Chains A and B, each alone.
Chain A
Amino acid sequence: MLEGFKILSRPEARVGVLGWGAYIPRQRLRASEIAGLWGFEPSIIKALWIEEKAVAAADEDAVTMGWYAAKSAITRAGVDPQEIGAVFVGTESKPYAVKPSATIIADALNVSSKKLSTDMEFACRAGSEGLRIATALVASGTIKYGLAIGSDTAQANPGDVLELTASSGAAAYVVGPAEEAAARFEGMVTYITDTPDFWRRDCSHYPLHGEGFTGDPAYFHHIMTSVKMLMEELGLRPEDFDYAVFHQPNGKFPLRVGKKLGFPKEKILPGIVTPWIGNTYNASALLGLAKVLDSAKPGQRILVAPFGSGAGSDAMSIIVTDRIIERQEKAPKVEELIARKKYISYAQYARSRHIIRRIV
């Protein structure tokens, strides 16, 4: 019983996910079109497992997408926006360099003005840190409900290998008391070091990366460390989880890191979204989690491990409750958003993503 006591004593165990929401823009660009344009080796598409990516339209950005995902999350949660005491937006593509995105989204959702609200930046895991902080605020009794959003219109240097995957999308989570939750947190840990694997300098349009350095010393080291730390603290093994969701810079990395950690493919595939929508950066792992929650059953245990360059990884264990069933149908599911698509050309992509610079 000591184990059980240890788990219950974790503050995050008093908190859970009440509602979740997703947004994926309709436009899709085929990876083969990008590869063809720049003369990439066709085999790279298979090696990365990337088929197509979602592209935000000219009138979409991290705020509009984040708002949509948050709206769905609040609908699923069934809470009064006036009772939400914190709104955090994790993004690395905020429309304003100075001026919070979170305030725009919060007001558009009629969230109470008596709140904490800020944009967060930690490459692809700022939204995940927002989720951790919102959870801590609920656990401490500072707020009743919190809203954490990950939303990005990720930039990629034209012709860089990242252009195959860098895409747009958003995911949002309403957290609150565990008694009201569709899925309760069992434990959360985070592992962070100074690892310069990927970065974008101030005023630079596009990020740069350290190629192979983004793999073993960054993605794999951080995720494996955080997940092992979590399993050790909770006394859990890969067999104890029904699903494992990892950050998805491409389709292959989550499968590979899962294999290294001892998770079979079948537990990872349900949370995979990147091959069909690309890497949505701050929404990447959180959209994978949303996809799993869309069809999860009460009692199931989910591992989610986002990763952000720079670098850090969170690992969370989540247990689905009976309340999930009624909430699954209340908002668009990730699979529906993935299926809702129209193909565009690279030229239309260039226009949508403001790659064509013109004076207006």
Chain B
Amino acid sequence: MSKAFISAVCMTKIGRHFKLGIKNLIHEVTACMEEKIGSRPDYLIVASTFSALQTHQLDVASIATQYLGWSNIPSIRVETGETSGIAALELAQYIVRSGAASKVLVIGVEKMTEYPSNKVNADYAKILDYDTEYVRNITPPSYAALVMKEYMRKYGATRDDIAEWPVKMHANAVNNPYAQLRFPVSKEAVSNAMVISEPITLLDAFPIGDGAAAVLVTNESARSKDALEIVATAAATAPPLYLREDITELPATKAAWASLKRKLDACKLSEVALQVHDSYSIYGILALEAVGISEKGKACQVIPNLEYLNVGGGLKARGHPVGATGLYQVAETYELMLEGFAGKQYGGEYALIHSMSGSDYNARLALLRRW
């Protein structure tokens, strides 16, 4: 199979774009991409988790091609809950490697501010099992709260230990021009913020925002001068939280990692550029432990030392326009490795991107390498 590369990226600022609909957001990143590559892609993939629920639009990928005035281009929408963006990247690289297309444009887009937050939160809870969990009023933050409580009980972590996460994410986001929350926070502010689901506070949780990010995946012949190789992707699913022996583990992430880690040459994982899924602070911490950056129960201590961890601020502070998030992770990494991003430049060889849905109901990893 041929190799797959990330040849160009575009991002919009995440926020409450009251004047932009889902098609406008798609157009913003597409226009940016056309300017960068000077030609049209030969395949379009749109990752959007909530387009059907929040904007009432099915087949958003085809509608996007109509809006863009593109015809005769295959298009597809990808939805795998919160990992939709990386799932789309996964699909794009398979398409490129198979030879079916040489330039696949992957757009992640989410319009999250069309409705009051009660509807957004209700729709967000549909990433869990609707019949079993949703109808019993179980929501992602309530699960995350259970996990955080158990983690604190089991490993003796304190509220302040966990607050290391949002403090670092907010500090990173200050320098990210596309981030939704560009202000620093203190540990004290995290503890004293409004309680979302005890012990999770507002500053442990991602904000609701609109956004779009685009990534061009190409084969070798269409590769741009500045490119990252997609070494491999890996994905796995896991049993529901209530059937797990230990809810402080991320089983899908661990399974995906097991299949991927042999591809990472003998370099130190703590020196790799990392993007992990932190819809809630505790999940960022568990992700570090799932990929072995830290021993179980000790990730809080390593957070301050990881220079290339979620350089854009993570879901927590960059924001989490759900279907687009994975592609923001990729786009930030691309800029970090090739152009410099958020005041940082990463000179190493590898980047690892982690995405998961809910309490790790499915996890997706992408391993990128400087070309």
Contacts and interface: CB of A to CB of B under 8 A. Distances in A.
Answer yes or no: do A and B interact. Answer: yes
A41 B197 CA distance: 12
Interface residues of B, number: 9
A213 B117 contact: no
Task: Tell me if B's interface is mostly helix, strand, loop or mixed.
Answer: loop
Interface string B94-119: 00000000000000000001001100
Contacts of A211: 116-117
Contacts of B16: 212-213, 216
Nearest to B194: A41
A43 B194 contact: yes
Nearest to B202: A41
B37 to A, nearest CB: 34
A216 B113 CA distance: 13
B146 to A, nearest CB: 19
A3 B116 CA distance: 47
Tell which of A41, A43, A216, A217 has the most Cβ of chain B within 10 Å.
Answer: A41
A44 B117 CA distance: 17
Contacts of B117: 211
A209 B116 CA distance: 8
B302 to A, nearest CB: 32
Contacts of B194: 41, 43-44
Interface in B165-219: 192, 194-195
A159 to B, nearest CB: 11
A219 to B, nearest CB: 13
A217 to B, nearest CB: 5
B18 interface: yes
A210 interface: yes
A25 B331 CA distance: 58
Contacts of A43: 192, 194
Nearest to B196: A41
B195 A213 contact: no
Interface in B98-154: 113, 116-117
A208 interface: yes
Nearest to B201: A41
Interface string A27-45: 0000000000000010110
Contacts of A217: 18-19
B18 A41 contact: no
Nearest to B19: A217
Tell which of B18, B113, B116, B192 has the most Cβ of chain A within 10 Å.
Answer: B18
A208 B117 CA distance: 12
Contacts of B116: 208-211
Interface string B1-39: 000000000000000101100000000000000000000
A211 B117 CA distance: 8
A68 to B, nearest CB: 36
A212 B117 CA distance: 9
Given A212-B16, A213-B18, A217-B18, A41 B113 contact: no
A212 to B, nearest CB: 6
Contacts of A213: 16, 18, 113
Interface string A204-226: 00001111110011000000000
B170 to A, nearest CB: 19
B213 to A, nearest CB: 22
Contacts of B195: 41
Interface in A122-162: none
Interface in A229-250: none
Nearest to B117: A211
A218 to B, nearest CB: 9
Contact of A212 (B19, B113, B192): B113
A217 B15 CA distance: 13
Contacts of A44: 194
Interface in A174-196: none
A41 B16 CA distance: 23
Interface in B243-293: none
B224 to A, nearest CB: 38
A279 to B, nearest CB: 19
Contacts of A210: 116
Contacts of B18: 213, 216-217
Contacts of A212: 16, 113
Interface string A41-73: 101100000000000000000000000000000
Nearest to A197: B18
A216 B18 CA distance: 10
A44 B113 CA distance: 22
A44 B194 CA distance: 9
A208 B115 CA distance: 11
A122 B193 CA distance: 36
Nearest to A208: B116
Nearest to B18: A217
A220 to B, nearest CB: 12
A48 to B, nearest CB: 13
A41 B18 CA distance: 27
Interface in B80-103: none
Nearest to A42: B194
Nearest to A43: B194
Interface in A281-307: none
Nearest to A40: B194
Contacts of A208: 116
A41 B203 CA distance: 14
B367 to A, nearest CB: 38
A43 B192 CA distance: 9
A213 B113 CA distance: 9
A211 B113 CA distance: 10
B155 to A, nearest CB: 28
Nearest to A221: B18
Contacts of A209: 116
Nearest to B118: A211
Given A41-B195, A43-B194, A209-B116, 9 more contacts: A41-B194, A44-B194, A208-B116, A210-B116, A211-B116, A213-B18, A216-B16, A217-B18, A217-B19
Closest 6 pairs between A and B when the two form their complex, measured CB to CB = A41-B194, A217-B18, A211-B116, A212-B16, A211-B117, A213-B18
19 contacts: A41-B194, A41-B195, A43-B192, A43-B194, A44-B194, A208-B116, A209-B116, A210-B116, A211-B116, A211-B117, A212-B16, A212-B113, A213-B16, A213-B18, A213-B113, A216-B16, A216-B18, A217-B18, A217-B19
